[in-house]
Amino acid sequence: QKEVEQNSGPLSVPEGAIASLNCTYSDRGSQSFFWYRQYSGKSPELIMFIYSNGDKEDGRFTAQLNKASQYVSLLIRDSQPSDSATYLCAVNPGGGNKLTFGTGTQLKVEL
């Protein structure tokens, strides 16, 4: 079982819709969770982080964490073509000194 799993996509949504990206992780002791956005040919850019169960909102982005079910999700409201990118989920396993990344989900926002 992969430590961090994401659907590779592509996930296609129309402009203005809500994009929902999901990530599951295997280590129950994981404490920190991060979402990165990576445009083609560029490096990953941190967009959200969450440590506690529940929702965390920042502008059009909402991160949701459910530790009991071991999943973390990212919602993007009012999706824009500029949101088209690969979204990487990263998890810090319990007591770990590093982040473990998923393979990423490619999001396409269509006009």
Partner 1 sequence: ETGVTQTPRHLVMGMTNKKSLKCEQHLGHNAMYWYKQSAKKPLELMFVYNFKEQTENNSVPSRFSPECPNSSHLFLHLHTLQPEDSALYLCASSQGLGDRGFFGPGTRLTVL
We find the least distance from the C-beta atom of residue 29 to partner 1, in angstroms, to be: 12
Told to check if 18 binds partner 1 by CB under 8 A, we report no
Told to check if 4 binds partner 1 by CB under 8 A, we report yes
* Total residues found in the chain within this entry: 111
- Count of chain residues binding partner 1 (CB under 8 A): 22
Among 17, 67, 96, 108, binds partner 1 (CB under 8 A): 96
Distance linking the first and last C-alpha atoms of the chain: 37
Reported as half-sphere exposure (CB side, CA atoms, 13 A), residue 10 has a value of 11
> Any idea which residue has 């530790």 for tokens?
67
How many other CB atoms are found less than 10 A from the CB of residue 41?
5
What Rg do the C-alpha atoms of the chain give, in angstroms? 13
Q: Give the binding range for partner 1 (CB under 8 A) out of 12-20, 53-61, 73-81, 88-96.
A: 88-96
Residues 36-65 that bind partner 1 (CB under 8 A): 36, 42-46, 49
Told to check if 25 binds partner 1 by CB under 8 A, we report no
Query: Rounded to whole angstroms, how far apart are CA atoms 54 and 48?
Result: 14
Query: Which residues bind to partner 1, rule: CB under 8 A?
Result: 4, 32, 34, 36, 42-46, 49, 88, 90, 92, 96-104
